[in-house]
Structures are given as structure tokens and as C-alpha cells.
Amino acid sequence: MFRLPALTDLRRFDADASGKSLGNLPEWDLSDLYTAPDAPEVARDFDWLDKACADFAAKYEGKLDTLEADGLLQCIHDYEAIDITAGRLMSYAGLRYYQSTTDSERAKFMADAQDRVTVATTPLVFLNLELNRIADDRMEALLSANEALNRYRPVIERLRAMRPHQLSDELEKFLHDQSTVGASAWNRLFDETMAGLSFEVEGEDEPLPLEATLNLLTDPARAKREAAAHALAGVFEKNIRLFTRVHNTLAKEKEISDRWRKMPTPQHGRHLSNHVEPEVVEALRDAVVANYPRLSHRYYALKAKWLGLDHLEVWDRNAPLPIEAPRTIGWDTARSMVMDAYADFDPRMADLAEPFFDKGWIDAGVKMGKAPGAFAHPTVTTVHPYVMLNYLGKPRDVMTLAHELGHGVHQRLAAGQGELLSSTPLTLAETASVFGEMLTFQKLLAGAKTQAERKTLLAGKVEDMINTVVRQIAFYDFECKLHAARREGELTSDDINALWMSVQAESLGPVFRFMDGYETFWSYVPHFVHSPFYVYAYAFGDGLVNALYAAYKDAPEGFQDRYFDMLKAGGSKHHKELLAPFGLDASDPAFWNKGLDMISGFIDELEAMEE
């Protein structure tokens, strides 16, 4: 609980350096949370939180195993009220900070808020510990005796899955208390360092932030792409010692925590939090790796042919096709493209997305100091989500808008479950976002007027899917190797560079050559810092959506209602329950090949266009 917004969608660094002629890009209006850092409501809520947490501990600590069903239900409701207030405070502090991570006042406010919330909530640590000490038969009797309490069964079961890994009450309180100077402090150091970097790209009039520099890797001019790649490598190399220290420290901290908690693997904690079986993730990973040759290897060989090259350099990976006319898509056009696709699927979906544009729920522009990437943060169930973009008019930026709005729609629908049940495990959290992209892509594809336009759209979609599936599984393998190696001792920059390169050739294929300096490109991926092993959720979501979309096309009758029911469920159901109405089962190894077949089918069509 009480998390800062997660920086997400690192596969989408696709901005333009200028930001001109895009129209009126929206900024957040955070007043639905608080009107200002010094607003009286902020002080009021901090004071309320202090008292509510102390009162909660006085009322319930040491007594959970004596409560009857009604008493346990009231305990959960009291906790949810605390969760909402703490989440509201931290959402406001975090969103302001991500708008300008180099602003010292915003950084101080966030750090102070995090300290205050952490201190206030330390007395609550007993709750999970005592819940997990209740005997199985007694817990089952309590849940069975009260239908309202039984609604929280998924939350309680997820908590109790941590029982084998639970430490003493004193240790758990200590770890909670010192969290602000542990991983979160290193996260802040990473964020502020990355946001403060500037890159001098040959041919550019002024230094660029990371987002805009990465975007130049999609420039039509190959010389411009190459210059951007070398500028990135040069700055990453200058800062590599710091990034190496951050990764060493966080991986070691995780190893210590995992050892004390008796986690069997570094990935196990992520699987538990995602409420997904390790064998399901391994089936996904193995299916994707086995399909590298017919997906990324085959596509990039085709792309080299289109570009007239014998081999590709890393700066060619996201290059536009030679037949693709340079195009900048204004904000109003992007809005129409996405909203039309959403409305064609179901008007309810467009209605849920509309307020993001009209009520200040999106922050779209690229600004120096603003956090890179994109995310949708749900805040708390009594308010609404906020979407962050770095929009600069590329076609892929439109897909990012569709993606993040999908998250936002999902979060709005799931809010009806209440604070503890609304949060969707990461493996399913990407479903609505990737589905939103698919709807937008299919709408554009259906409107293609020429073979060249269709080819451009298909190629762009394949590249997005490769970035979502192949690249993210390669990232996952890199993390697995990194954490395994760190358990053997301190890693040098060269050690981490070598681990990074070990997954690049395997995933991208033999057509690639890798420039000197590319070995440092692991350093800018925030997921490795913020959320270890998060990245497989993207591949999970893409494979799931491909199978869902195939089910939609095969049997459209009633699909929308089933889809909305799935999104409304939030975290209240296991993935097996959620997918059963569609005839899908993620635990079936063959399931993942269905999604991969869709990518392969698009490549088949692209190859046929060459004949």
C-alpha cells in the first residue's frame, strides 16, 4: 500500500525533439487530490492519518484472532479508510514530483510526505502478520460466516500466500520503518539523475533530454539516428559507475530480503504479488524465446532488406520504412483516432475515456526534468486515475495514448471493487491497455487506402509487438541473470554490460551489429530499478490480448459485456476465473502460441507483399 506512481511502458521512448505544432497539450489538474502542497486539507489529512493509525493499532493489535466475522470485516473497512487517505497524499506528492523531478521543492515535499506516511503507518504492520497467524480452519469459518467479509477472500489469500516468507513482528516493523532510506531512496537517486541528463546530438541546436534523444532513433535520416545513439552511449558511459552502484545495491538488498524471507528464487516475490504461478510465467518465457527465429529474427531480416542494408545497427531497429512519409500527428487528431476506435468497440469505453481529455487527467507534453516514459496511476478509488505521456506526435505516441487510456478505463471500472480489491495483478493490468492499442491499430488498418499505407501500419504494429513481447522477455532474462550473478558477489560495470549483451543478439537476431557503447543501454530502463521482474507483464498482456482479440473476432456476440465484467473485477478474481468466460486458460502452454501466431501472421503478410 501507499505506493508512489510506477514509471511504466519503457518500451515507448518515442518522442520528438521539438514538440511544435502539436496543438494544445494538456497538463494535469491535481486539484481533485489537493489544491496545493500547503492547502489546509493536506495538513488535516496528515494529522488524521497519524491519529487513525494509532487508534487502529490500539483497537486491533494483538486481538485479530479473537475477532468474529463482523469484527474482522470492520477491521478491514477501517484499514481501507486509512489506505485511501495515505494513498491520496502519496499520489499527490508523487504526481507533482514526476512532473518535474529536478524541482527541489517538489522533491522535498514528496520525500517529507513519504517519511510522514511511513512513520504514521508503521503501527499497522501487525495487521498482515496477525492475519497470517490465524489458523486455516478458523479463517475459513470466518469467511464462510459473512458474505461481505468473504468478498475480501482474494486479498486475504494473497496475504496468506506470504506466510512462509513472513519475518518476526519486530523485523517487519523495522523494514517498514527504514524503507524510505532503502530502495525508495535509490529509486529517487536514479530518477533525479536520469531526468537531469542532457544529450548533445550532432546537428541539434541545443542539448536534449533523454526522451527526445531516444526519439531520434526513429528519425528518417540514418545519420541522425546514429548521432543520437552515440550521444546516448556517451552520456550513459559517463554515468555508468553511478548506475552500476544503484543496481548492485538494489540487487543486494533484494537478495538479503529474499534470503531472510526464504524466497526460493529472486522472481518468486513478483510471482506472488502478481498472483500467478511460476510455471505459467516460465511457459510464457519459454514460448517467446523458442519463437525468436520466426518473430524478431525473421522480421528484422525483412526490415534490413527494406532499408537496403546487409545488416542492421542498433539505431536502425526503430527506423521508419523508406516508404513511410514523415508524419506529425497533432494532439486533437490523436484524440479523435483513439476515441473513435474506442467508441466503435463500445460507446461505454469512449465515455469512460472522455474525462481524461476534458478534466485535466492527462499530462502530455515533454519538458526538461519531467519523468520519461508513460504511465496511468489509479490514485485512490474515491478520486480517479491520472495519465502521464511524453507526447510529440509520432504514430507510436498515438498508440501510447491508446495504451494508457486503456489502463485508465480499466482503473475506473475496477474502482467499484473498493480500495483493497481494485488493484489488478500486473499480469492482467496490461490487458485493457494492450487491447486499447489493438482496437486503435485495427481501426487504422481498416482505413488504409493504399498497399503502402497498410504495409507501414503492419510493420509498425509488428515492431510494437516485438518491443512488447520479445524485448520485454529479453529484459526479463537479463534481470534473471543480473540477480543470479549478484548473489555471487559485487558486479562491475563490465559484468553487467556483458549480461546485457548476452540477451541482445539472442533476441534480436543475426542481422544486427552492435556498436561500441550499446552495452551500457541497460542503464536507462527504470523498471530494473523500480519494479524488478515487472517486465514480463507486458509480454503476458500482449499474448493475452492477442488471444482475447481472436475470441472477439470469432464470437463478437456478447463479448463487450464479458470484457467489461473482466475489467470491473479488478483484483477480485484469479486469472483462471477471469479468462474462463472467453474459453481461455493462461496455464495451458499452447495458449501463448496463439498470441505469438498473431504476430507471426502479420509478418507472413508483410513477406507476401514482397512477392
The position carrying cell 516485438 is: 466
Domains and CATH numbers, the chain: 30-184 (1.20.140.70)
pLDDT in tens, 273-288: 888 889 999 999 999 9
Identify the H or E element spanning 552. Answer: helix 536-554
> In terms of pLDDT, which residue wins out, 41 or 176?
41
What pLDDT was estimated at residue 20? Answer: 55
Q: Is 202 exposed, middle or buried (0-12, 13-18, 19+ CB in 10 A)?
A: exposed
Residues 429-443: tens digit of each pLDDT: 888 999 999 999 999
Nearest to 400 by CA among 380, 372, 381: 372
> Is the per-residue pLDDT at 508 higher than 80?
yes
- Which residue reads 524541482 in cell numbers? 103
Helix (H) / strand (E) containing 8: none
Q: Are 12 and 374 in contact, with CB atoms under 8 Å apart?
A: yes
Question: What pLDDT is attached to residue 405?
Answer: 97
- Residue for cell digits 492547502? 39
Grid cell of 21 as nine digits: 505544432
Task: Kindly report the number of other CB atoms within 10 A of residue 453's CB atom.
Answer: 16
What pLDDT was estimated at residue 179? 79
Task: Kindly report, residue by residue over 472-499, the tens digit of the pLDDT.
Answer: 999 999 999 999 999 999 999 999 999 9
CA–CA separation, 611 vs 609, rounded Å? 6
542-553 burial code (b ≥16 CB/10 A, e <16): bbbbbbbbbbbe
User: Tens digits of per-residue pLDDT, 576-595?
Assistant: 898 899 988 888 878 888 88
Q: What is the pLDDT of residue 180?
A: 78
Cβ contact 393:550 at 8 Å:
no
Whether 10 has a pLDDT exceeding 90, the answer reads: no
d(CA 530, CA 39): 30
Please list the alpha-helical segments (H only) found in 447-508.
451-468, 470-486, 493-508
Residue 484 corresponds to which cell in the numbers above? 543470479
Phi, psi (rounded to 5 degrees) for 68: -85, 180
What type of residue is 380?
V
C-beta of residue 285 within 8 angstroms of C-beta of residue 540: no
- In eight-state DSSP terms, residue 561 is H
Grid cell for residue 141? 469459518
20 Cβ partners below 8 Å, 6+ apart?
none
Least confident of 40-54, 306-320, 366-380, 556-570: 366-380
**% residues pLDDT > 90 (the chain):** 75
pLDDT tens track for 62-77: 999 999 999 999 999 9
Largest CA distance in the chain: 75
Q: Which region holds residue 4: left if phi is over 0, alpha if psi is between -120 and 50, else beta?
A: beta
- pLDDT tens per residue across span 410-433: 999 999 999 999 988 877 888 899
Look over the chain and give the mean of its residue pLDDT values, rounded to a whole number. Answer: 92
Q: What is the DSSP string of 40-66?
A: HHHHHHHHHHHHHHHHHHHHHTTTGGG
Backbone phi, then psi, for 592, in 5-degree steps?
-70, -30
Give the predicted TM-score (pTM) of the model: 0.82
